Structure 1
């Protein structure tokens, strides 16, 4: 069976600048036909060259001003002929974050470590519709493009996807959340139980970040403190909250023992849990194969970014619980 045409650019972002560069250097940046652009490079205009043209268009480096013509965009000019030290990097990031499928996968994993190869492979097929026979090609293009745009960082053998968004400060939904809202069914009584320390500063994040994030995802936020549960044995209240929750959030920063106890209960029940931490060292080895949101309180936009990301991952965990559930070994 032949796969349908790829929606994503089939060349990495830096390689897709070859044609715009040739048009700038050999045609003074004026529009030309595809065949003319190929002649500037001394190659044929069929097959792979058409794929390269398509990639340039998908990254926003080329446009079609008239039928049969291609032209260099302002984005490509900013990268190839920068007038400011940040022009190239900003242009590359704009290209990656606007490219079909690549931008969606970036949005899914921003602020997280990329998962192990098999989990990444499955997610690309099941969540993003990348054909199975194109997964390796897409992975290579994705990694190369994000590296070129300085959107990846290596640490302790893991690859972190850098979040360069500013978050939805107006309370609106991010593009990723809007897409998830269309595919995830949430009932009015569905709750999200939050496992976190109560003492400040972490305890303050409940009202400022986690509660509004959960509400943005359409669920009812619940936290195991006296204000919410009232009197009674706290462990019974925690068990009830965890057992009845559709999804949970665990703030793992500082390795609070109570939080890890509650997390153990949630995992025993095979509940999907959104893990969050400001410090990767606080994530035990046994949990590192599950998606974890990392945040940096030194980032001026960290609160809005974390709120958006938690809301997205809550719906993603409902839609794809295998990404957020610690499965029992057979």
Structure 2
């Protein structure tokens, strides 16, 4: 019986063709993922970019290269291009990431100009942040004048309005963050409610001369979370560095304090009510210093988590010196960080330029109705940090962009 040649798989017979096919599939998948029907950042963050363009150019078009040089960012980097894409999607600017000049639109000018009457500015922001984005407009139209629905209901609604698979969580988070920034999400009758634009406008002065605070600054008290119901009965699994998988770990840096102390109540409340629920969608395990196994040098283990965890969330409440020390270590190695703070705490100058989720703990009635909103704000910041871990923004990366720290024995991050 003659022996015929066995068919050789294409991946073995032609490695170059197989490699090209993998590249094509990767490009196709990347294009598929990048086609969001909504901007890839909250409106407030994108608004700051439009304001920078307006201020830098005194209202005139600016050269794209010049504005990014002014912002100390590379004009060709992925985050810089995404800034321009987001600003275009929101209708804040004209000019693509390949354009020579960028210009703030007429509506964008209304949204950022400090001399615009409050009602006109709010109408412009609502138009750009909600009405001009089809999925957000659809969700708003469905739930306006009602309590903020459960997260699962919002996700189901996002599916029904055509948001692609894999983007529902992000869509809901960005939608909620935008509502809150504009003022369309308000605490009424003990619950967060999505209000009409007319209702919001009626609460604003008609002229610029009337003193006011933005909606998301109101209600910030100076009381502590002693007034908040204590989270009792929490039990955490003990984590050892031998069992830790750092690529799926979020290290939560927070003041802890002794059992029963105000700081411990605060740390437990934020961990159980905000941080852990916000990170569920990212499949990250949250580890806090007191959850680390006791054998060994605890300080060494903390440093290892700071240097190797995929994400760090730092709670700046109480101005705890250990938190700032640990945050500085994380900044030095240029890895992703998300900052939280009580609304009653002042953020030190060096850190107040970094986006921070401010949480009102002035009382149970201020905190509880906004829990879902705070979770979405945290999730939104986490998503941005994880999607582009190289785009870390902190004082070290700003003033020493070429600085790199090499850690012997630590695996590369990526």
TM-score between both structures, scaled by the size of structure 2: 0.42
Residue 272 of structure 2 aligns with which residue? Answer: 207
Query: In 1, Cα distance between the equivalents of 2:274 and 2:246?
Result: 21
After the TM superposition, which residues 157-172 of structure 1 pair with which residues of structure 2 at under 5 Å, given as runs?
Answer: 169-170=150-151
Superposed displacement of residue 206, structure 1? 1.0
Equivalent residue, structure 2, for 1:192: 250
Residues 155-202 of structure 1: CA deviation (Å, up to 9, x unaligned): xxxxxxxxx997774467767863479xxxxx9942211111123332
Q: Secondary structure at the match of 1:248?
A: strand
Decide which of 365, 377, 380 is 1:312's aligned counterpart.
Answer: 380
The answer (yes or no) to whether the contact 2:249–2:285 under 8 Å persists in 1 is yes
1:276 and 2:245 aligned: no
Q: CA deviation at 1:222?
A: 1.6
CA distance in 2: counterparts of 1:173 and 1:248, whole angstroms: 28
Match of 2:297 among 229, 233, 254: 233
The gaps in structure 1 that reach 5 residues or longer are 1-99, 153-163, 182-186
Q: In structure 2, how many angstroms separate the alpha carbons of the residues matched to 1:221 and 1:168? A: 26
- Of the three residues 320, 344, 347, the one matched with 1:256 is 320
2:305 is paired with a residue of what secondary structure?
A: helix
User: Aligned equivalents of 1:274 and 1:235: distance in 2?
Assistant: 22
**Structure 2 match to 1:285:** 349
Distance, in Å, in 2 between the alignment partners of 1:166 and 1:275 is: 28
Q: Would you say the 8 A contact 1:254–1:282 is kept in 2? A: no
Aligned pair count reads 211
Q: Say whether residues 1:178 and 2:186 are aligned partners.
A: no
| Distance in 2, Cα, partners of 1:319 & 1:262 | 23
Q: Distance in 2 between matches of 1:216 and 1:255?
A: 29
Residue of structure 1 equivalent to 2:122: 148
1:125: how far off? 0.6
Deviation at 1:128, TM superposition (A): 5.2
Equivalent residues in 2 for 1:14-163, closer than 5 Å: 104=39, 107-109=42-44, 114=48, 117=52, 122=80, 124-127=83-86, 129-130=88-89, 131-132=94-95, 133=101, 135-137=103-105, 139-143=108-112, 147-149=121-123
Q: Is the 8 A contact 1:177 1:312 kept in 2?
A: no
Distance in 1 between the 2:322 and 2:314 partners?
11
Deviation of the 1:108 alpha carbon: 5.0
Once residues 208 and 300 of structure 1 are traced to their aligned partners in structure 2, the CA distance between those partners, rounded to angstroms, is 9
Distance 2:120 2:252 in 1: 33
Q: Deviations over 1:15-73 (max 9, x none)?
A: xxxxxxxxxxxxxxxxxxxxxxxxxxxxxxxxxxxxxxxxxxxxxxxxxxxxxxxxxxx
Show CA shifts across 1:103-135 (max 9, x none).
x5884548x995772669946315455553555
Partner of 2:369: 301
Match of residue 181 from structure 2? none
Partner residue in 2 for 1:9: none
d(CA) in 1 for partners of 2:293 and 2:149? Answer: 31
Q: Secondary structure at the match of 1:229?
A: coil
Q: Deviation at 1:253?
A: 1.5
Unaligned runs of 5+ in 2: 1-36, 54-70, 96-100, 127-143, 159-166, 173-244, 257-262, 401-414
Contact (CA 8 Å) 1:197, 1:259: kept in 2 or not? yes
The Cα of 1:275 is off from its aligned counterpart by 0.8
Query: Post-superposition shift, 1:265?
Result: 0.8
Post-superposition offset of 1:301? 2.3
1:75-124 Cα deviation digits (max 9, x unpaired) = xxxxxxxxxxxxxxxxxxxxxxxxx86xx5884548x9957726699463
Tell whether the 8 Å contact from 2:246 to 2:305 is kept in structure 1 after alignment. Answer: no
Alpha carbons 2:344, 2:360 under 8 Å: kept: no
Q: Secondary structure at the match of 1:294?
A: strand
Counterparts in 2 of 1:169 and 1:150: CA distance versus 1, 3 Å: farther
Instruction: Measure, in 2, the Cα distance between the counterparts of 1:223 and 1:312.
Output: 21
CA spacing shift, 1:171–1:244, aligned 2, 3 Å: farther
